[in-house]
């Protein structure tokens, strides 16, 4: 049994972590710490102890792993405290504010023989897993171009922010999802071109980014905007023999926002209308088109991998090197903004 505690009792903990953890018989949630109990807005979970005394949880010898689900600017301090109390640590995205902070935290964990890791749940998005399946089946031929889009039409978000802050930029908030997907599958790029903008003007929130990552003859583009009335497809993949278009995103977040939870058999699962379309030239030179059944996503797989690492000593799936590379990309992308 892996016994865990949480720092933070907001949307992150209750929407993106607990619904998956509570489904797993080999993980026990013992304690949730929140600094201001009077601000509790989520129903308490039976059998879980709630506290406003952080030291109580840090000193609890039963708790092996603590999950940090707070604002990005507190991640470093909390992670250091958790590791100093000899507990493993899982940290929400973005992992740290800077790559230097990340290096310090990874070094401290290594020194103490502990695991610290970023919560990169989007590696287990259905659309991303489906793209991997299509690529590996080979019908696309040699891969030439991959486009990944994460679009909104939420002008009120950047319009409400009147100063620039790197940690709350669009690149940090959402590039930490998509860039990790690219790094996890394609590795370290040979070259990166950054186009990171403040569409509302200098001194405002970063609300747009378009990063091109080059791997030999392959270009992977990661694009996002707060000002897209019509969203671009989630993924577009081109090879020298075919193309694959996945219009819709993974549905886990959609269902979680509706409080339709993972204990439902069809939670997060695509139906026929959500399937991507593969168009390719077969061995006879005939152009064929087919719908591709989506691979099911599961954010909880981050916890499955962590369980194996903490309890059974297996290697981490989300490595320090991958997280550091991503942090360096985020820093580089916003360094010229103010």
Has residue 276 been placed in a domain?
A: yes
Q: What percent of the chain is modeled with pLDDT above 90? A: 98
- What is the H or E stretch that residue 108 is in? helix 99-112
Is residue 158 domain-shared with residue 111, that is, in the same domain? no
Does residue 39 have a pLDDT over 90? no
Q: Indicate the residue among 90, 119, 148 that finishes a domain.
A: 119
- How far is it, in rounded angstroms, from Cα 266 to Cα 331? 39
Is residue 87 domain-shared with residue 139, that is, in the same domain? no
Is residue 86 domain-shared with residue 218, that is, in the same domain? no
Q: What percent of the chain is modeled with pLDDT above 70? A: 100
- Give the total number of structural domains in the chain: 2
Poorest-pLDDT segment among 32-41, 117-126, 183-192, 218-227:
32-41
Give 336's contacts (C-beta < 8 A, 6+ positions apart).
196
Is residue 97 domain-shared with residue 133, that is, in the same domain? no
Mean pLDDT for 146-168 is: 95
Q: Is 285 helix (H, G, I), strand (E, B) or coil?
A: coil
pLDDT band at 34 (very low <50, low <70, confident <90, very high): very high
Instruction: Convert the pLDDT of each residue in 49-91 to its tens digit.
Output: 999 999 999 999 999 999 999 999 999 999 999 999 999 999 9
Has residue 126 been placed in a domain?
A: yes
Is residue 103 domain-shared with residue 164, that is, in the same domain? no
Is residue 36 domain-shared with residue 63, that is, in the same domain? yes
Is residue 212 domain-shared with residue 142, that is, in the same domain? yes
Residue 279: φ, ψ to 5°: -120, 125
Mean pLDDT for 13-32 is: 97
- How far is it, in rounded angstroms, from Cα 82 to Cα 77? 9
Structural domain including 37 reads: 2-119
Has residue 319 been placed in a domain?
A: no
Does residue 231 have a pLDDT over 90? yes
Is residue 255 domain-shared with residue 132, that is, in the same domain? yes
* Domain harbouring 180, CATH code: 3.30.360.10
Mean pLDDT for 326-335 is: 96
Q: Indicate the residue among 91, 119, 147 that finishes a domain.
A: 119
Cβ atoms of residues 252 and 267 within 8 Å? yes
Q: Indicate the residue among 78, 99, 119 that finishes a domain.
A: 119
């Amino acid at each position: 049994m892996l016994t865990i505690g949480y720092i933070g009792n907001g949307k992150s903990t209750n929407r993106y972590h607990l619904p998956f953890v509570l489904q797993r018989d080999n993980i026990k949630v013992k304690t949730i710490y929140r600094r201001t109990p009077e601000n509790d807005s989520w129903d308490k979970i039976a059998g879980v102890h709630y506290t406003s005394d952080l030291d109580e949880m840090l000193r609890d010898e039963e708790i092996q792993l603590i999950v940090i689900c707070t604002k990005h600017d507190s991640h470093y301090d909390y992670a250091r405290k958790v590791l100093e109390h000899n507990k493993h640590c899982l940290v929400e995205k973005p992992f740290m504010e800077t790559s230097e902070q990340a290096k310090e935290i990874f070094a401290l964990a290594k020194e103490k023989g502990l695991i610290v890791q970023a919560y990169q749940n989007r590696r287990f998005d259905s659309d991303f897993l489906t793209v991997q399946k299509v690529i590996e089946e080979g019908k696309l031929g040699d891969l030439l171009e991959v486009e990944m889009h994460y679009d909104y039409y939420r002008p009120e978000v950047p319009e409400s922010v009147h100063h620039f802050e790197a940690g709350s930029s669009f690149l940090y908030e959402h590039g930490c999802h998509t860039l990790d997907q690219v790094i996890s599958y394609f590795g370290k790029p040979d070259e990166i071109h950054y186009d990171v903008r403040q569409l509302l003007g200098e001194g405002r929130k970063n609300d747009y980014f378009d990063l091109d990552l080059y791997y030999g003859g392959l270009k992977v583009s990661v694009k996002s905007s707060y000002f897209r009335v019509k969203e671009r497809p989630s993924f577009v993949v081109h090879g020298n023999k075919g193309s694959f278009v996945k219009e819709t995103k993974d549905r886990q977040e959609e269902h979680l926002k509706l409080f339709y939870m993972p204990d439902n058999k069809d939670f997060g699962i695509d139906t026929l209308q959500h399937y991507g379309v593969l168009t390719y030239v077969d061995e006879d030179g005939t152009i064929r088109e087919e719908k591709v059944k989506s691979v099911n996503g599961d954010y909880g797989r981050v916890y499955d991998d962590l369980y194996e690492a903490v309890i059974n000593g297996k290697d981490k799936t989300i490595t320090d090197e991958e997280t550091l590379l991503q942090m360096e990309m985020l820093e580089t992308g916003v360094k010229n903004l103010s």
